[in-house]
């Protein structure tokens, strides 16, 4: 069969190469491609698709129709569709999934396969972004728009989505890699598509081994540059903690850069993440203590490990403070090039970390040596506070953000009233969404799945800066809507008392309250994707045809190429009557059924009246003023002035990173796409390192250990004295 398909592909190639394409050839091609796709032979299917694209003489429209029909089965009437790679209808969403906000639920696709929307690799060759414990992360290409995403296939799940996906779906923050879509395949496999972070790992940049060509000099040569990155990490950790989630694997390898040209860091890999708070996003929910020993060796917090009668065992329980500890380790490594705890092997390192709790003066000689001579006191202070042995006395992620070392790199703060244009857009979007529930859902869904190219990140930089500024109103990393409204009310009252405007400002206030409609998750906070949804509804993020095709794929449940009232009712879990009522009161003229993509496209790209006032979405620089700063506490002031002095000093870690560079070679072997056979040379080398008695001090040995991606603590032999690892 396989042979027949291959010869079919060859025959078709000849046919299409020799003659101008006829519709018969095209139909045959399409049929062949469907067969290949059905058999999951996407590599051959891709080359078939390439043939279609290269057929000379084939009219553009025919080509488009073919490619889009092939790529989006959503466009095929339900009766004709054979769900070859689709999903078993009986595989219904699980109860916990149904609890997710609608905009997030629409990211999980069961009625359409990953291969229908994306292709992997060119001519059968996959582009591997990296490999971890759970396999390779590959580059996948959207079949219609051609946009590239990072895709990862998770093992078949019998009953529910893996926890990694469930948690990842909920998160939306500028410094957390966005999970765009999750496909539940018929065989239970789950494909997750994430935004592609093409800037490479922070580990590689720190080790100087990054193959990604970055603009300018190495970004990690001064404390100031490192602080810029740490600030983003703290923001991401603060956000995930506010969502009741602990990551448990914060390390250099799990931070990637959005693009080579940018310093925007994104947190990835939620494989060890878990929920710690009873109910999502509500800090009132009861926090549970975790006991599972897991993480990456060098970054493990002492409370994860217990010591009883000289033997290592489970600790008494831990919570989100373990992420701040790991952040402390990470800063330590970035400024010094050394891990804070070391040993002959993993078990030794763990032993040293566990013992840390019982030392008299744990960090007494932590910062001694030439590497630390030029590191600022304020930086050391932050490390010490993050790595406090008592988790209760450790800084929180919010505390880290406010530490003087990071305050030095805080972006210019904008007073609330100067954010006028952004707030105006939020009001406009809120009013539109309040008027049209369908539009609100579509914008919400688009915002959580839309791909924003790194260029558009730059384009919307000012908006995100505004968001960061507004974040000061939010104690938990996402905007509190009530706080925003209260702050605006206060500002309006102040303005009114200074110069009465005959109620004009009160009218503004009324429209401002409409921003409540932007809260798609209903938790009283404006998450990053809700902010993006608002920007879409305000016509600030241009929507293209390919995006609309994705909306149809997600909302057109019965796959009849129409978003019908029935589709919407089943998505919104509302009855038809309620929807008809919504339809009647809809002033947006976006009535069901939505069968006209052009109308939808037009509705999504509608701009507010004042759009012409600003040709670009930039917040005027003139509007950015620094707020009056309150005088800091004297100790803080001292630290701040020291920090100012030190910020531009070069970090002294060149020597150490020479070692890391060697180690990464080993790391890529360990994490190769196909696990390589154990290399005798490598083993011999490692033995040599050990036998030379240099164990602790041997850079090669030390760094090779450090470079290993993941060590499950349960793999270690815990008995004192035999700190060896199990085979």
Ligand X SMILES: Nc1ncnc2c1ncn2[C@@H]1O[C@H](COP(=O)(O)OP(=O)(O)OP(=O)(O)O)[C@@H](O)[C@H]1O
Q: Does 138 bind ligand X (CB under 6 A)?
A: no
Closest CB 688 distance from ligand X, rounded Å? 28
Give the rounded distance of the alpha carbon of 492 from its chain centre.
36
Question: Does the footprint of ligand X cover residue 129 (CB under 6 A)?
Answer: yes
C-alpha pair distances (Å), 375 with each of 366, 409, 646, 659: 12, 17, 7, 20
Quick check: 698 binds ligand X (CB under 6 A)?
A: no
Of 75, 130, 337, 539, the one binding ligand X by CB under 6 A: 130
663 sits near ligand X (criterion: CB under 6 A)? no
Q: Which of 87, 100, 137, 553 lies at the binding interface for ligand X (CB under 6 A)?
A: 137
| SS3 label, residue 138 | strand
Give whichever of 12 and 197 is closer to ligand X, judged by the CB atom.
197
- Contacting ligand X (CB under 6 A), which of 13, 38, 40, 134? 134
Q: Which of 93, 121, 132, 699 binds ligand X (CB under 6 A)?
A: 132
Choice between 103 and 268, CB closer to ligand X: 268
- Does 155 help bind ligand X (rule: CB under 6 A)? no
Query: Is residue 324 within the footprint of ligand X (CB under 6 A)?
Result: no
Q: Using the rule CB under 6 A, is 194 a contact of ligand X? A: yes
Determine the 3-state secondary structure of 137 from DSSP: strand
575 is catalytic: no
Q: Does 269 bind ligand X (CB under 6 A)?
A: yes
Q: How far is CA 138 from CA 128, 166, 171, 205, in A?
A: 5, 21, 21, 20
> String of b and e for 165-184 (b: at least 16 CB within 10 Å)?
bbbbbbbbbbbbbbbbbbbb
Q: Please, which residue, 172 or 709, has the CB nearer to ligand X? A: 709
675 near ligand X, judged by CB under 6 A:
no
**Terminal Cα distance for the chain, rounded:** 43
Supply the DSSP string of 244-285, one letter for each residue: TEE-S---GGGEEES-TT---EEE---TT-EE-BSSTT-TTS
Does the footprint of ligand X cover residue 267 (CB under 6 A)?
Answer: no
326 binds ligand X (CB under 6 A): no
Of 88, 116, 221, 249, catalytic? 249
Determine, following the binding rule CB under 6 A, whether residue 262 of this chain makes contact with ligand X: no
Q: Which stretch binds ligand X (CB under 6 A): 69-77, 192-200, 603-611, 713-721?
A: 192-200
Q: Quick one: how far is CA 21 from the chain centroid?
A: 43
Shortest reach from residue 194's CB to ligand X, in Å: 4
CA distance 259 to 212: 9
Least separation in angstroms between CB 128 and ligand X: 8
Q: What would the two tokens of residue 374 be?
A: 């030029």
172 binds ligand X per the rule CB under 6 A: no
Return the residue nearest ligand X (CB atom).
132
Which of 25, 136 has the CB closer to ligand X? 136
Cβ of residue 202: shortest distance to ligand X, in angstroms? 10
- Site residues for ligand X, 197-216, by CB under 6 A, read 197, 201
Residues 6+ away with beta carbon under 8 Å from 313: 305, 306, 307, 718
Nearest to 554 by CA among 214, 89, 129, 103: 103
107 appears as a binding residue in the annotation: no
Identify which range of 129-137, 213-221, 317-325, 413-421 contacts ligand X by CB under 6 A: 129-137
Q: How far apart are CA 423 and CA 360, in angstroms?
A: 53
- In the block, tokens 């009219």 appear at 59
Q: Which residues inside 11-30 make contact with ligand X, applying CB under 6 A?
A: none
Task: Name which of 103 and 250 has its Cβ closer to ligand X.
Answer: 250
Residue 144's SS3 state is coil
Residue 150 is a binding residue for ligand X (CB under 6 A): yes
Instruction: Tell me the C-alpha distance between 317 and 216, whole Å.
Output: 45
Ordered DSSP codes for 145-157: T--EEEEEEEPP-
The piece of 105-113, 252-260, 356-364, 517-525 that touches ligand X (CB under 6 A) is: 252-260
Interatomic CA distance for residues 241 and 231, integer angstroms = 15
By the 8 A CB rule, do 219 and 151 touch? no
For 361, residues 6+ apart whose C-beta sits below 8 A from its C-beta are none
Annotated binding site: 152
Catalytic positions:
249
What residues line the site for ligand X (CB under 6 A)?
129-134, 137, 150, 177, 194, 196-197, 201, 253-254, 256, 268-269, 271, 709-710
Annotated binding site for ATP: 152
């Amino acid at each position: 069969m396989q042979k027949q398909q291959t010869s079919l592909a060859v025959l078709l190639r000849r046919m299409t190469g020799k003659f101008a394409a006829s519709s018969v050839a095209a139909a045959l091609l399409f049929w062949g491609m469907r067969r290949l796709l059905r058999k999951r032979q996407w590599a051959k299917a891709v080359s078939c698709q390439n043939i279609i694209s290269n057929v000379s003489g084939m009219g553009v429209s025919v080509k488009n129709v073919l490619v889009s029909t092939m790529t989006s089965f959503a466009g095929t009437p339900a009766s004709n569709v054979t769900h070859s790679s689709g999903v078993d209808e009986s595989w219904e969403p699980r109860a916990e999934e149904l609890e997710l906000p609608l905009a997030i639920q629409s990211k999980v696709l069961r009625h359409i396969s990953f291969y229908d929307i994306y292709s992997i690799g060119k001519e059968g060759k996959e582009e591997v972004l990296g490999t971890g414990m759970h396999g390779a992360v590959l580059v996948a290409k959207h079949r219609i728009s051609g946009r590239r995403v990072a895709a990862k296939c998770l093992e078949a799940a019998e009953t529910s989505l893996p926890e990694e996906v469930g948690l990842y779906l909920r998160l939306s923050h500028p410094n957390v890699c966005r999970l765009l879509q999750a496909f539940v395949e018929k065989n239970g496999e789950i494909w997750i598509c994430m935004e592609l972070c093409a800037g490479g790992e922070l580990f590689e940049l720190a080790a100087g081994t990054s193959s990604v060509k970055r603009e300018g000099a190495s970004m990690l040569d001064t404390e100031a540059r490192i602080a810029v990155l740490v600030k983003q990490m703290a923001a991401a950790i603060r956000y995930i903690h506010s969502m009741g989630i602990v990551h448990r694997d914060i390390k250099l390898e799990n931070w990637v850069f959005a693009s080579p040209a940018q310093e925007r860091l994104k947190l990835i890999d939620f494989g060890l993440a878990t929920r710690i708070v009873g109910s999502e996003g509500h800090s009132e929910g009861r926090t549970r203590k975790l006991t599972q020993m897991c993480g990456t060796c060098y970054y493990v917090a002492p409370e994860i490990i217990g010591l009883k009668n000289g033997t290592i065992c489970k600790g008494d329980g831990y919570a989100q403070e373990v992420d701040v500890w790991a952040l402390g380790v990470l800063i330590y490594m970035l400024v010094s090039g050394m891990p804070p705890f070391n040993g002959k092997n993993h078990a030794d390192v763990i032993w040293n970390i566990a013992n840390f709790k019982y030392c008299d003066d744990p960090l007494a000689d932590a910062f001694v040596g030439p590497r630390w001579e030029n590191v600022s006191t304020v930086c050391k202070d932050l490390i010490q506070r993050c790595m406090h042995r008592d988790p209760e006395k450790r800084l929180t992620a919010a505390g880290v953000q406010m530490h003087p070392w990071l305050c030095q790199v805080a972006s210019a703060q904008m007073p609330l009233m100067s954010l006028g244009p952004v707030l105006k857009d939020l009001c406009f979007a809120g009013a539109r969404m309040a008027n049209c529930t369908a539009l609100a859902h579509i914008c919400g869904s688009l915002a959580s799945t839309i791909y924003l190219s790194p260029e558009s990140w730059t384009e919307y930089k000012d908006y995100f800066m505004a968001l960061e500024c507004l974040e000061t109103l939010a104690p938990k990393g996402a905007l509190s809507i009530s706080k925003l409204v209260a702050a605006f009310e206060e500002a309006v009252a102040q303005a009114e008392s200074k110069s009465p405007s005959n109620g004009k400002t009160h009218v503004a206030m009324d429209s401002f309250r409409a921003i409540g409609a932007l809260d798609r998750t209903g938790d009283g906070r404006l998450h990053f994707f809700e902010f993006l949804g608002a920007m879409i509804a305000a016509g600030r993020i241009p929507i293209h045809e390919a995006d609309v095709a994705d909306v149809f794929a997600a909302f057109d449940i019965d796959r009849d190429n129409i978003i019908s009232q029935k589709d919407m009712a089943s998505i919104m879990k509302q009855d038809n009557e309620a929807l008809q009522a919504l339809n009647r009161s809809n002033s947006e003229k976006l009535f069901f059924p939505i069968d006209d993509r052009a109308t939808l496209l037009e509705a999504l790209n509608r701009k507010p009246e004042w759009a012409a006032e600003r040709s670009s979405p930039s917040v005027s620089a003139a509007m950015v003023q620094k707020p009056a700063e309150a005088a800091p506490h004297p100790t803080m002031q001292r630290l701040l002035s020291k920090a100012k002095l030190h910020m531009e000093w070069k970090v002294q870690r060149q020597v150490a990173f020479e070692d890391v560079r060697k180690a990464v070679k080993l790391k890529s072997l360990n994490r190769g796409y196909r696990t390589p056979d154990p290399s005798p040379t490598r083993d011999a080398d490692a033995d040599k390192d050990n036998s030379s008695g240099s164990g602790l001090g041997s850079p090669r040995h030390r760094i090779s250990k450090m470079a290993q991606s993941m060590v499950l603590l349960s793999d270690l032999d815990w008995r004192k004295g035999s700190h060896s690892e199990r085979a």
